Amino acid sequence: MRLHRSFYATLFALFLLLCQTSAMDSAQLTPSAAELHPLVRRATMSPLPNGIEVQAGDLLLKVAALREDVLRITMARGKSLPEDASWAVLADARRSSVPVVIDTGGDQFGFRTHALIVAVDKKTLELTVRDLAGNVLEQDVRPVRFDSDAFRMYKSMPLDEHYFGLGDKTGPLDRRNEAFTLWNTDAYRFQESTDPIYKSIPYFMTYRAGRAVGILLDNTWRTSFDFGKESAGIYSFGAAAGPLDYYLFYGPSPKQVVETYAWLTGTPPLLPLWSLGFQQSRYSYMSQARVLEVAGRLRADSIPADAIYLDIDYQDKNRPFTVDRAAFPDLPGMIAKLKADNFHVVAITDLHIANLPGHDYFPYDSGVAGDQFVKNPDGTVYTGKVWPGPSVFPDFTRQQTRAWWGSLYRDLRHIGIDGFWNDMNEPSIFDSATFTMPENVVHRIDEPGFATRTATHAEIHDLYGMENSRATFEGLRTLDPESRPFVLTRATFAGGQRYAATWTGDNSSSWNHLRLATPMLENLGLSGFAFVGADVGGYAGTPTPELLTKWLEVAAFQPIERDHTEKGSGD
């Protein structure tokens, strides 16, 4: 009998242990009440001509059909949605609308278009989108999580689904089982696991069983994307602050998804024909004589080349929009000689303006006179150290600042420079603890379609490089309306393909980096940037003859073929 009682006591203890373990596992798998935004069980739905609005407690959700195959999903805490303005998505796309058929019943609110079935759970506001055959295209698996100003979405990740996009990222073509942060970063000598790097394109494509779907998170703050790395069976995305505003668009083919992304964010402009040819560059050709020598060697050896680049050392003490007259005594004459030999010149113009009061430096003097520079919280002009030394930075979120910046190209364009290269525009800062602008630096938004207001750099950082290239592109169009601008930018954002081509930044002279280049360029292409390249031979270091030969062969099939390398490396 004692044995019998001992046996049942042991079973009871095991039962309690299993219950405790199950509770612990459940606590680990299920977000706590503090992690999930509390929702009331009674939600109210208001039908719209092109969708629905749902109010649940202090959460407001709007799902609208812009086209039969394009949805815009916006959520906010409170009774009103955020400002309907975007740096990435075109106004015509945002204003687009198609009628829907409201389809509400049971536990769900919803509607149908001619391509999609939309359902919103009445209790949790979790969203499910299906095609007309009933195939699930996208499905929330948890309610939206809010943590102060931050938010995160959680989506179902089937075992056979794959993920592409996010633009300029290292690693495999398929993003599955990877996680990424979007925060434009000067990533010299980046490697296969380096993240983040130069560009922020918060858009990706899912692909499963022949069906492709695009998702674009329209948020300029620091964002992150996790494709099953943290939690098996779940992918997620979110931002540190800013609007919860994203677009979902159905293919079903990947080509249709890319076309719709271009409908949302714009297409690249037609580029000058010469930019399709081989481009020769180095940091730096230190003199006029050296530039002409390199050009002459290319022609003597019958190497087809269409462009030659001038890096920062053609300038006086690295100051943008100046010329070192000692090293380049006749820059207009040099350009004329190169043009006679069918070369086009691309010149770098970094966005940092040397802080030089009293030195008759026109970019600084005119910028100060027009109040064109970003500021510290106390209202003084922000200064950071870059190539020219202490520098100030244009406030590109102001349309008048972009117009001023574009006008600075007048003299360089007049002497025959055909293309311009905007580098260091993450922005890269040498004497900052974060190697970029402090997040509390103040920008002023003065832009058609936006409320006029100030914004911190935390909000503007990832689009700063894009607005720099926009200012260059629009300035060149104003100065010479009959010519197609060629602008090359290192940092950019979703929609930046409207203004500039891009490349993958400071790669290395290694076989691994040659291997990295192709999936990086493919994902940039899937993310709207059709005209892209990687520094042939690798920027950092000297390639072996075998590596350089193979890289030239591979790059001949890539949109931009530019040979570029750093100081101290071999020719």
Q: Span 273-503: which CATH code?
A: 3.20.20.80
Residue 447 CB burial class (10 angstroms; 0-12, 13-18, ≥19): middle
Cα dihedral across residues 372, 375, 379, 385: positive or negative:
negative
Give which of 507, 546, 419, 397 is closest to 463, Cα–Cα.
397
Query: What pLDDT, in 10s, does the model give residues 364-409?
Result: 999 999 999 999 999 999 999 999 999 999 999 999 999 999 999 9
Instruction: Determine the angle formed by the axes of helices 331-340 and 288-300, rounding to 10 degrees.
Output: 10
Q: What does the pLDDT read at residue 188?
A: 97
Q: What does the pLDDT read at residue 94?
A: 98
| Residue 239 and residue 219 in contact, taking contact as beta carbons nearer than 8 Å | yes
Query: What pLDDT, in 10s, does the model give residues 9-33?
Result: 333 343 333 343 333 333 333 344 3
Strand 532-533: give its sheet, edge to edge: 532-533, 501-503, 486-489, 419-422, 344-348, 307-310, 278-280, 561-563
Using CA atoms, how far apart are residues 158 and 139, in angstroms rounded to an integer? 10
Instruction: Determine the angle formed by the axes of helices 511-526 and 545-555, rounding to 10 degrees.
Output: 20
Q: What does the pLDDT read at residue 307?
A: 98
Mean pLDDT of the chain, nearest integer: 93
On the CB side of 8, how many CA atoms lie within 13 Å of its CA?
4
* Contacts of residue 145, Cβ cutoff 8 Å, sequence gap at least 6: 31, 35, 36, 37, 151, 152, 154, 238
Q: How far is CA 78 from the centre of its chain?
A: 29
| Residue 125 and residue 139 in contact, taking contact as beta carbons nearer than 8 Å | no
**What letter represents residue 423's amino acid?**
D
Query: What pLDDT, in 10s, does the model give residues 87-110?
Result: 999 999 999 999 999 999 899 999
Mean pLDDT of 141-151: 97
H or E stretch covering 76: strand 70-77
| Residue 408 and residue 396 in contact, taking contact as beta carbons nearer than 8 Å | no
Q: What does the pLDDT read at residue 9?
A: 39
Query: What pLDDT, in 10s, does the model give residues 238-275?
Result: 999 999 999 999 999 999 999 999 999 999 999 999 99
Using CA atoms, how far apart are residues 125 and 45, in angstroms rounded to an integer? 11
Alpha helices in 391-456 (DSSP H): 399-407, 410-414
User: Would residue 506 show up in a list of annotated catalytic residues for this protein?
Assistant: yes
- Which residues share a beta bridge with 162? 207
CA triplet 459, 463, 466: central angle to 5 degrees?
A: 165
- Which residues share a beta bridge with 138? 129
Q: What does the pLDDT read at residue 386?
A: 98
Give which of 488, 568, 493 is closest to 199, Cα–Cα.
493
Considering the chain, tell me which residue range(s) the CATH 2.60.40.1760 domain(s) occupy. 44-265
Strand 384-386: give its sheet, edge to edge: 353-354, 389-392, 384-386
| Residue 424 and residue 351 in contact, taking contact as beta carbons nearer than 8 Å | yes
Active-site option among 395, 426, 474, 535: 426
Mean pLDDT of 353-368: 98
Mean pLDDT of 188-207: 97
Considering the chain, tell me which residue range(s) the CATH 3.20.20.80 domain(s) occupy. 273-503
Tokens 């010329």, located at residue:
323
User: Hey, what CATH class is 44-265 in?
Assistant: mainly beta
For the chain, what's the residue count?
571
User: Would residue 426 show up in a list of annotated catalytic residues for this protein?
Assistant: yes
pLDDT at 79 over 80: yes
pLDDT at 1 over 90: no
Mean pLDDT of 135-157: 97
DSSP 248-294: EEE-SSHHHHHHHHHHHH--PPPPPGGGGSEEE--TT--SHHHHHHH
Where would I find the beta strands (DSSP E) of 329-485?
344-348, 353-354, 384-386, 389-392, 419-422, 442-445, 453-456
SS3 185: coil
SS3 12: helix
Cα dihedral across residues 364, 367, 371, 374: positive or negative:
negative
| pLDDT band with cut points at 50, 70 and 90 for residue 123 | very high
Task: Give me the percent of the chain exceeding a pLDDT of 70.
Answer: 93
Mean pLDDT of 472-495: 98
Strand 162-165: give its sheet, edge to edge: 44-48, 51-56, 59-67, 70-77, 244-250, 211-217, 203-208, 162-165
Using CA atoms, how far apart are residues 493 and 149, in angstroms rounded to an integer? 22
Active-site option among 506, 535, 561, 563: 506
Burial 253-264 (b: 16+ CB within 10 A, else e): ebeebbebbbbb
Token pair belonging to 344:
């086009």
Residue 23 CB burial class (10 angstroms; 0-12, 13-18, ≥19): exposed
Query: What pLDDT, in 10s, does the model give residues 409-445?
Result: 999 999 999 999 999 999 999 999 999 999 999 999 9
Q: What does the pLDDT read at residue 41?
A: 54
H or E stretch covering 155: strand 150-156
Q: What does the pLDDT read at residue 2?
A: 38
Tokens 């149908």, located at residue:
112
Mean pLDDT of 124-151: 97
The 3-class secondary structure across 94-146, one letter per residue, is HHCCCCCEECCECCEEEEECCCEEEEEECCCCCEEEEECCCCEEEEECCCCEE
Most confident of 12-26, 29-43, 64-78: 64-78
Q: What does the pLDDT read at residue 332?
A: 98
| Predicted TM-score of the model (pTM) | 0.92
Q: What does the pLDDT read at residue 42?
A: 82
Query: What pLDDT, in 10s, does the model give residues 450-471?
Result: 999 999 999 999 999 999 999 9
